[in-house]
Structure 1
Amino acid sequence: MNYAILRTAKLKTMGNIGGSLAHNYRTIETPNADPNRTPKNHHSVATPEAVKKAIQDRLPEKRRADAVLCIEYLITASPEWEGWGTDKEAEFFERAGQWLSEKHGAENMAGLSIHRDISTPQLVAYVVPIDQKGKLNCKEFLGGRVKLSQMQTDFANTVTDLGLTRGKEGSTAKHTSIKAYYHDINHARDFRITTEPPKPELFESKASYGEKVISAVIEQIEPTVKAANSILMDYEKARIDKSVAEESYETLKKRVEPYLIATKGLNQEEITRINEAMQLESRKIAVDKDKIK
């Protein structure tokens, strides 16, 4: 069974929005994205700054201090769906954008992006939750289980003829669809680092063989370092996302257990230093690889 998947996140500050946009527009390191395919991504608005301005322009002057300023939608489908890479994919994303526009009004759509540089393509949209009275009112759209469930059903009904379905209503259905979305994360990556040095050629110099060994090692461990960074990001996102299935969350938690043990008892500053060191090491691998080339 292939599922239509729709998730939402409430962004309450411009800082939250800026952080999300940086990831969405790939202006920060995104380990699970293939930079060679990033040019294939599509953005309805050219820059993250322009999206931010569009959001600010729609916000009413008078609003609650804790108000949700923007809803971030993520829309995708099961990784196994046969529509990926075909005309069905384009139709799926076109209908998703139209559905959001009709639900919220085109004037409240601050930006829409399609990512094709990751294993399963996805659409991300930024919507200012203005209700029919012109007020900032996220609760009108996402308030309560009934509304969220109906929203899932409404969207699935718009793409059912593309070979996608909504799971059975209730927690089991929600968990199944999220589990499908995280399938590639839970099963396609491994932390183990194993390297196998190449055999030296007859009469090959030590310098030449040394460069060959370095190149081979870098090539073999680079995917693992990037995967480790990616899983940590996915785990952190899952940790704060209450809609993620318990099974998917626990699977991610088990895969990052070495990291969790290593950082246990450290303060936030020390953890940040470790995370930065990991990212630096990943960048060094890329630089060293380029030098060898």
Structure 2
Amino acid sequence: MADAMSTAASYAIARVKKLKRANIAGSAAHTSRQRETLNADPNQKNIRFIGNVDREEKLEDLVLAKIGQYEQKRKIRTDAVYCVEILLTASPSYFRPLDPTAAGYYQEERLADWLEGTHQWLNEQYSDRIVRAELHLDEVTPHIHAYFVPLDENGQLRCNHFFDGRQKMRDFQESYFASVQHLGLERGIQGSVAKHQDIKDFYRIVESGKDLNSDLTIAQMRAKAADRDRAMQSKSSMELTAKRLVKENESLRQRIKELEAEKERLQKQTEQLSDLPLEDVAWHLGLDEDNSSDSCARRRHRCWKGGEHIIYINGSHWSHLAPDTQKIGNVAANSQTTSASPGAVSLVKQVNGCNFNQAIAWLNDRFGEDGMQRAVTHYTRQQAQNILKDEAAPQFVPPVPDESNWHLVHDYLTKKRRLPQDLVRKLYQWGLVYADAQQNAVFLLKNLNGETKGAFLQGTRAEDNTLEEDNTFTGDATGFTGYAIGTKRSDGWFYLQWGGQPTDEVQKVVLLKSPLDVLSFAMLEVERQRGVPGGVPEERTMYMTVDSSRSVPVELLPDIPEVICAYDNNAAGDEIAGAVGELLPQATRVKPQAQNWHEELLALLRLQQREREYQQQQRQKQQRQRERKRESELEL
């Protein structure tokens, strides 16, 4: 590798020249010196290091033969680029560091190193798509002409795939610079040249020996590069802004389409919920409009008459003149009418004197199925509203307590479920759990204001009282597990709070499937806190039953910093946790190591029991050792 001998920077220089088919022969004539070239020394021989040395071989034939090796999917245009002439050189100060202005002179070692690096780069970058490459030594500065057939990886002629756009040209020059950087050549100042394809700079070096930007000072070159960088940054910023605006416009167009579709859907829904126009129904019933009377004008009603019927229509309501009202001419002598009635169905029943089923059939015949459904929907909604005026919402009635069964439920919770007796007693005193006549453990479900909204029943008679995925009991037929009739599942939960101070706001909520899961998980938390100073966590935590995404208390949980989905360690638990997680992004999944939290609690209690037994054995062993020691001392 040549060592640097000049303080002037030496640059790697690469340019390209796109050749259409008509330009190939002219370029070949120049590079092969088939025609006279100014400033060329006829005593210097050029070196063809890629391609046949046969001077009679035409470059155009080589290019066409290379293209012909692959079937072109599209017809090649007449103005297509068939070949790219790659022009490569370096600053004169590289080839002749002692005297860069000595035209035609070069250090052979430096030339050989540069040729080797360039040859290797051409092979690695373009392989056999370089059909010819020549080293020219007959001009002021050594340089290379390489002919590249721009075939892509599929063999298709695509020059723009390699050299279209500023970034691709920058990548091309960066690639060449990286291959000869080890020679001490530097990358030209990015942005200091107006066009990467500017051939004039190349021939300026080749023919006159003047380096790039040789007439500019370092400060001027840096200023020029800075101007270029600012222009590029401004252009890049404008392009990004344009892309952003295009994206925003597309988003707005999509939103407009969605809003239009929503508007159309709402219009259809409004039509479906609205009644048929009563004027149309009256016309089909054989009535004719008559608003000539003063009474109709005063009442601001539309008057429809036919036979013995006089109907006053006001929007979606109508009223009927009593049949025995005295008439003078065609106008009623008084304004006594039946009470106003809503809707098309009742109007048809009145005028036709038919029942509900017959009215529906008539409407379907006159207005089609859609019209009939509109009328029926409106009629049903009106009937429902009338019912709600008189019918109060049903209130949940908890199962009747049965004190005689409490000791059995108590034993189930404390002995089988292994819940602490103090906890069960407090829950019973607070009225959160009791026994019913069927020996079920009744867990009351309350809303966040403490109002009872339902109950969860846990059967205790069966041998295996395991809560199934669908909240049904599968053991003894005398047991039951599920919700009491009348429970409002979306507004009632079994929940406890622990940690911090009673007046503190809840910072963490743990969601579980059933009341027994709540109690088991809470007791695990208590056991884990026994070794912690104070024994109570600093933050206020709520443990509550949420067995479906439909029962998530949305007015509470979105503002809670930490939500834990602590469901069973199975597919059903994962499904519930996933559904809840979609509603609450802050929710995290926690699984028991066992199948459920009850089994986890039992495992912990068994471990604690074994530890206590072991400690008891150790104490007894130590006691025996002390007794034997005393006996030995007495014998002595």
> How many residues in Structure 1 have an aligned counterpart in Structure 2?
189
1:54 deviation in Å? Answer: 1.5
For 2:57, the equivalent position in structure 1 comes to 49
Indicate the structure with greater strand content: 2
Q: Does 1:80 align with 2:87?
A: no
Match of 1:102 among 104, 124, 140: 124
For 1:216, the equivalent position in structure 2 comes to none
Q: Is the 8 A contact 1:104 1:130 kept in 2?
A: no
Q: 1:82 to 1:174 in 2, by over 3 A?
A: farther
TM-score where L is the length of structure 1: 0.57
Q: 1:138 to 1:41 in 2, by over 3 A?
A: same
Superposed CA offset, 1:118-140 (max 9, x none): 11011101110000011001011
SS at match of 1:148: helix
Q: 1:116 to 1:10 in 2, by over 3 A?
A: same
Indicate the structure with greater helix content: 1
1:94 deviation in Å? Answer: 2.2
For 1:34, the equivalent position in structure 2 comes to 41
For 1:21, the equivalent position in structure 2 comes to 28
TM-score where L is the length of structure 2: 0.28
Two-structure CA RMSD over aligned residues (Å): 3.0
For 1:284, the equivalent position in structure 2 comes to none
In structure 2, C-alpha distance between the alignment counterparts of 1:114 and 1:187, rounded to whole Å: 16
Q: Does 1:165 align with 2:186?
A: yes
Match of 2:173 among 152, 171, 181: 152
Q: 1:177 to 1:17 in 2, by over 3 A?
A: closer
Q: Does 1:59 align with 2:67?
A: yes
SS at match of 2:147: strand
Stretches (4+) displaced over 6 A: 173-178
List alignment gaps of at least 5 residues for structure 1.
Answer: 189-243, 249-293
Match of 2:114 among 84, 88, 92: 92
1:81 deviation in Å? Answer: 1.2
SS at match of 1:170: coil
SS at match of 2:177: helix
In structure 2, C-alpha distance between the alignment counterparts of 1:64 and 1:75, rounded to whole Å: 28
Amino acid at match of 1:129: P
Q: 1:102 to 1:180 in 2, by over 3 A?
A: closer
1:185 deviation in Å? Answer: 4.8
Q: Is the 8 A contact 2:19 2:84 kept in 1?
A: yes
In structure 2, C-alpha distance between the alignment counterparts of 1:74 and 1:180, rounded to whole Å: 8
Superposed CA offset, 1:75-127 (max 9, x none): 00011214632222112122212212222222x11101000111101110111
In structure 1, C-alpha distance between the alignment counterparts of 2:185 and 2:157, rounded to whole Å: 32
Q: 1:163 to 1:79 in 2, by over 3 A?
A: same
For 1:133, the equivalent position in structure 2 comes to 154
Instruction: Identify the structure with bigger relative contact order (alpha carbons < 8 Å, sequence gap 6+).
Output: 1
In structure 2, C-alpha distance between the alignment counterparts of 1:183 and 1:50, rounded to whole Å: 28
SS at match of 1:26: coil
Q: Is the 8 A contact 2:140 2:208 kept in 1?
A: no
Q: Does 1:8 align with 2:16?
A: yes
In structure 2, C-alpha distance between the alignment counterparts of 1:187 and 1:96, rounded to whole Å: 20
In structure 1, C-alpha distance between the alignment counterparts of 2:20 and 2:30, rounded to whole Å: 17
SS at match of 1:81: helix
1:180 deviation in Å? Answer: 7.8
In structure 2, C-alpha distance between the alignment counterparts of 1:184 and 1:124, rounded to whole Å: 12
Q: 1:101 to 1:48 in 2, by over 3 A?
A: farther
Bigger Rg over Cα: 2
